[in-house]
Amino acid sequence: MQRLLYTILYVVLAVHASAQTMVTGRVTDMQNKPVSDVIVKLVSGSKTLAFTSSNAQGEYSLEVKNVPSGEVTLQFTHISYEKESERLSFKEKAVKVDMLLTPKAVSLKEVTVKTDPLRQRGDTLSHNLASFLGKGDVTLEDGLRRLPGVDVAQSGAISYMGKPISQFNIEGLDMLGGKYNLATRNIPADYVTQVEIVRNHHRRRVEKDVPSNEVSMNIRLSNKAKFKPFGQEEAGAGYMKDGNDRLQALLGVTGMMFTDKFQTICSLKGGNYKSFAQADMIDHFGGSDVTTPATSLFGGFDGGAPPQGEYLYQRNGMATLNGIHKLDSATTVKVNADYSYHRATHDISQSSTYLTGTGDYVTVNEQTSPLTKVHLPKLTVNYLKNADRVYFSETFVVKGKFEQNEGDVLANQQLVEQRRKTSSFEVGNDLFWMGRTEKGTRRHVNASVSFKRTPTLRLSFVNDGRGYGQTAQSSTLSMNVGSSFNIPIGKVFRLSLPVRVSAMYDDVETNRVATGEVNDIRGWSFTPSINPGFEIHSRNRRFYLSAGLGAALKGLYYNKLNYTKPVLNPSMGINYTFSANSKLQFSTGYTTQIGDMMTLLTEPMQVDYRSVRTSSGIIGEQDTWHTSGDWKWQLPMQYFTLSLAASHSEGKRNTLYSQSVSGIDISSSALQRDTRSRSTNFSVSSTKNFPSIFTKLGADASYGFGDSEQAVNANIIKIRSNNYDLHGNASVTPIQWLELRYDIRYGWSRSRYSEESNTVTSLTHSGAIHVFPIATLDLSLDYDHVRRQITTDQYKRMSLFNASAQYKWKQCVLRLELTNLLNQRSYSYTVFDGINTYTYDYGLCGRTAMIRTTFKL
Amino acid sequence: MQKILVIMMALALTTAAQAQTETVDTAQFVAVYDYECRTQNDEAAPVTDRMQVVVQVGRTVTKSMPYSAYPVYDAESKPDVAAGFQEALMHMPTVWTGYPEGQTTVREFIFPHDYEGYEPTPDIAWTLSEDTVTVSDHLCQQATATFRGLEWHVWYTEEIPSSAGPWRLRGLPGLIVKAESEVHTFCLAKLRMEASPITAPEQTPEVHRMKYAKLLKHKNEIYGNRQYAKNPMYYVPNPQGSITDMSVLKRNGQKLVFANGGHPLLTKAHVYQPLELK
């Protein structure tokens, strides 16, 4: 009986169990990535038996209580994927169905796609790039120049309302750091959909409630630039009428890929046409160079640069590999490996007039063609976690600089040979952690260490058959450790306590070969500092004040020197936000700079063939009080920006720069004497766009004045200077096939000392005319005209003309460039450096024709 | 003056977006619903309140918010001051479904504080019906469920294969086109293809975070009180002290008061009709 009951129970349970069937599985896309939120539905005829949706891992499970006898279908639907279905017959209690979905073009009823040129989301302005592009624009950089408030300098540096951007992101990832030219000059403008400008950018998300003045840019790519590699190939050949390198060539290939998780840009370029390859490697945030005490004591013989025109005969090449991988929504690993080579030479004649001790002037005329060869390898690896509660960054850098200089000079008709050779390297590691608790307390710890060394730096001179020289070496180990607490007290008040210790070990040796004068300095500089401060952030988040005490103990312990000095550098900053579009900032601070071991190099050092440098041995001390304020106002929807800024600095030093002139030999040193300097600056800038007629207007002006002191042959001279600068530009498209650009700048500066007064003015205008006979053909002519004062009533006028024709055909851009059409071969200008006068005459590169092509790959 | 206030209002409403917020997903489409609530005013006369709710539907996160909180302002659709005031009468929270993963996060402003509630995303036990009807040009099917004390009748369309819906209503094999309870109605007004970023709740230390059940209890206690319609500030112990700034706008003979960075301050309210009882 019992057995019978068990049997019945078993049968009932089995029947019940068979009626309950589980359907499980996983939904993936073509890349084998899980697809979440897929509606999985079991249908019998028109009846829905059960439904569910897939989770973040793409998994789903459906429990079917009453399995029908007929055929059932399992349907998979998702807004972005094609509908899929599978027929099921429930022979088993558990069924597993994995599904692969293919993407579809979405179409919804009542679809409205908005393409406003500009949108504002809080502090982010999104520009629809296509609405601003001109017909001849090829690269992203060309497009950026058209955006309201955006300025792109000749070097490629981007600024928004006068503020240089502090981060450049592609689809939210910062792959390139300061080398964003690689992106802006190689990504085609039509591959970019949106350019977003974040006006209160926060590098660290944990600090996002702290008001920020930083600006960042993020570009969004179109689908054709995502997920599959693309790139461009450039090739060109040309001829220069006069000059060193007559045959000109360039060749480059750049490959890129941007997916959700991984981005890369790799490029290989070389050529002798302008700075073709080197231009992509400019690091706008600095830090690519290696500067050691030895290399900064004995600089190269590069002879400066004229403000206008191509003057360098360059050969440059570069190779770069950059990649960033997103581990999760907040974590990335980034590797940047660069190598660049640069060889440059140019011609310059220089006339320098110095005031001597007797009140007379001495003039030195020199002619030189400095040649510089530089190799710059660099590797950076970075791990970054940037989440709401925690920020962690670990960066390792190794870089080198290998230089060779030749600077033979024809000085007052006499040939002098100058040579310089040096190599330096730097290895560094930087670690930064910041955490934030639920209550808003922030803590941070950072530690960085770097070692840089110049094993040998060698200068050699041959003058009138007499050889002499100078050698130097330096090693520097620097360490920085810091920590801080930032604790909220109530809703509006915060206390902060940053503590920092920086220590640096230097070993510097210089040897003046002919005379055997040797400097050998080694020792530590050690600075512990503590900056207790507070922040007030009003409840309505409009008013923000932060202040710190800035206490530090500066210690220099070199050879027999034991120097310790406590300093107090208080600072204060105030921000007031009137509205999302109007903001006032003010900051003031007192800083004390204490000289370094360089001032202990009291034995003479030969810096060039006629200059000897001797340091005073006095530890310099400079106290500066700096105050600045600015107001930024913009009406993004009216495409209008305006910023006003003012700053004032007062400085006091305990030493005074002194110059002694004897014959044509210049020696410089420092006198122990208190000296004061002051400077005040005002600036205003504004831009306005009229997108409907593709027009952008910009204007800015600045005015500054100040005074300072200098000593010449132990006489103290007070110098007063003032200057102003006016600048305006316009880019106008009056009719569809014509585009005009015009830029005018007028500068005026005056310096006065004793009874003397020197005034220099300069007026430059440049313009361009682009004509589009057909939409894909761009014929342009641009010119630069400059009128610069050389001496009191002597002006130098010069015009430079360039022309180009550009034809866009499918994936290819064909371009003919004619540079320096009038074949101008020299550019002169004068600089008054307080009491000295320098007149430069630069040789310019001759007329050049270059035909180049760019293929989108 | 009015212009200034409109700008101030826009500023206040964009404050959430002003502080940088993390983007957690990108919308695949945006649905705008008309929301209606049938209630009484402070003198017990029947009134129908109306507002719009914007739902950003992403791959993993769905965000539903009052129209004025959707941070896309262009020249044509600047937020209307009176609309913001109307929204304040209706207590519609911003809801993130699926953020964090498997959770639902709700943000409410109950004067003078911001509150955030969190809980695992609740499943709604829908009963599907085979009836079909055309609502707003979409072929819809009906489903019913009781969610936290309220019975809902909804119409969803399988033409749009997304399990999203307005406010916290979700979990059907198609987008919810219309949802009705005794006094509440949501109706799909507009669908836009818009890949806008879905931002996470702004992390400010001033927000009071708690389990959602606690927040709901607090909200229902405050708004559910009999005094509320006649004196919406009855529960604020020191109303003058809680107000950091205040501005008044006169519009069509009506006085609109904004306080603490542009939040509408009600002098009279309507009887609270909860969307969830417990």
pLDDT tens by residue, A666-680? 677 777 788 889 999
Q: What is the ipTM of this complex?
A: 0.73
Nearest CA in chain B to A77: B161
Domain regions of chain A by residue span: 2-100, 118-226, 416-856
DSSP label at A678? E
Element (H, E) at A338: strand A331-345
For residue A725, pLDDT beyond 50: yes
A178: which residues sit within 8 A by CB, 6+ positions away? A282, A283, A284, A285, A286, A287, A288
Contact B159 A388 (CB under 8 A): no
Contact A540 B261 (CB under 8 A): yes
Q: Quick one: pLDDT at residue A14?
A: 44
For residue A152, pLDDT beyond 80: yes
Contact A79 B137 (CB under 8 A): no
The label of the residue with tokens 């009137």 reads A578
Which among A77, A79, A438 has the least Cβ separation from residue B28?
Answer: A79
Please list the residues that pair with A690 across neighbouring strands: A695
From B59's Cα to the closest Cα of chain A, the distance in A is: 7
> pLDDT band for position A199 (50/70/90)?
confident
Contact B160 A106 (CB under 8 A): no
**Averaged over A775-792, what is the pLDDT?**
84
**Averaged over A317-335, what is the pLDDT?**
93
Please list the residues that pair with A459 across neighbouring strands: A420, A470
From B46's Cα to the closest Cα of chain A, the distance in A is: 34
Nearest CA in chain A to B194: A113
Contact A172 B71 (CB under 8 A): no
Please give the sequence-ordered ranges of beta strands (E in DSSP) within chain B, or none if there are none: 23-26, 29-40, 46-57, 62-66, 94-97, 103-110, 113-120, 127-135, 138-147, 150-157, 175-180, 184-192, 197-199, 208-211, 246-251, 254-259, 263-265
Contact A539 B161 (CB under 8 A): no
From B75's Cα to the closest Cα of chain A, the distance in A is: 7
Q: Quick one: pLDDT at residue B166?
A: 94
Residues of A in contact with B192 (CB under 8 A): 110-114
> pLDDT band for position A340 (50/70/90)?
very high
The SS3 of residue B16 is helix
Would you tell me which residues 144-183 of chain B have a C-beta closer than 8 angstroms to some C-beta of chain A? 158-163, 171-174
A638: which residues sit within 8 A by CB, 6+ positions away? none
| Residue among A548, A546, A537 at smallest CA distance from A499 | A548
The pLDDT tens digits for A378-420 are 999 999 999 888 999 999 999 999 999 998 888 878 889 999 9
> Which pair of tokens denotes residue B2?
């009015």
- Cα radius of gyration (chain A): 33
Q: Are A697 and A729 in contact (CB under 8 A)?
A: yes
Which among A80, A111, A123 has the least Cβ separation from residue B191?
Answer: A111
> pLDDT band for position A456 (50/70/90)?
very high
Q: Quick one: pLDDT at residue A833?
A: 65
Which among B71, B161, B172 has the least Cβ separation from residue A122?
Answer: B71
Would you tell me which residues 89-128 of chain B have a C-beta closer than 8 angstroms to some C-beta of chain A? 101-102, 128
Nearest CA in chain A to B73: A120
Domain regions of chain B by residue span: 2-21+60-120+199-265
**Percent of chain A at pLDDT above 90?**
42
Please list the residues that pair with A124 across neighbouring strands: A121, A198
Residue A809: CB atoms within 10 A of its CB come to: 10
Residues of B in contact with A123 (CB under 8 A): 17-18, 20
Distance set, CA A348 to CA A158, B60, B217 (Å): 31, 64, 82
> pLDDT band for position A628 (50/70/90)?
very high
Q: Are A162 and A210 in contact (CB under 8 A)?
A: no
Nearest CA in chain B to A124: B18
Residues of B in contact with A110 (CB under 8 A): 190-192
Low-confidence residues of chain B: pLDDT under 50: 1-2, 4-20, 73-76
Q: Quick one: pLDDT at residue A48?
A: 80
| Beta-carbon pairs below 8 A across chains A and B | 136
Upstream peptide bond of B79 is cis (omega within 30 degrees of 0): no
Please give the sequence-ordered ranges of beta strands (E in DSSP) within A201-276, or none if there are none: 216-221, 230-240, 247-258, 262-271
Q: Quick one: pLDDT at residue A257?
A: 92
Q: Does the structural domain A118-226 have CATH classification 3.40.50.2000?
A: no
Q: Could you say which architecture CATH assigns to the domain A2-100? A: Sandwich (2.60)
Contact A538 B101 (CB under 8 A): no
* Amino acid present at A696: K
For residue A18, pLDDT beyond 60: no
Q: Quick one: pLDDT at residue A434?
A: 95
Q: Quick one: pLDDT at residue B80?
A: 62
For residue A122, pLDDT beyond 70: no
From A436's Cα to the closest Cα of chain B, the distance in A is: 10
The pLDDT tens digits for A570-600 are 999 999 988 767 889 999 999 998 888 888 8
Question: Mean pLDDT lowest for which of A357-361, A700-704, A840-844, B33-37?
Answer: A357-361
Nearest CA in chain A to B128: A48
Q: Quick one: pLDDT at residue B29?
A: 87
Q: Quick one: pLDDT at residue A709?
A: 86
From A684's Cα to the closest Cα of chain B, the distance in A is: 25
Q: Is B74 on the interface with A (CB under 8 A)?
A: yes
Q: Could you say which architecture CATH assigns to the domain A416-856? A: Beta Barrel (2.40)
Torsion of CA A170, A176, A180, A186, to 10 degrees: -70
From A583's Cα to the closest Cα of chain B, the distance in A is: 13
DSSP label at A596? -
Which among B11, B174, B244 has the least Cβ separation from residue A539?
Answer: B244
**Percent of chain A at pLDDT above 70?**
93
Q: Quick one: pLDDT at residue A163?
A: 85
pTM greater than 0.80: no
Distance set, CA A368 to CA A230, A409, A556, B198 (Å): 45, 5, 40, 61
Q: How far apart are CA A765 and CA A343, in angstroms?
A: 31
Q: Are B144 and B129 in contact (CB under 8 A)?
A: yes
Q: Is B244 on the interface with A (CB under 8 A)?
A: yes
Q: What is the pLDDT of chain A when averaged over all its residues?
A: 86
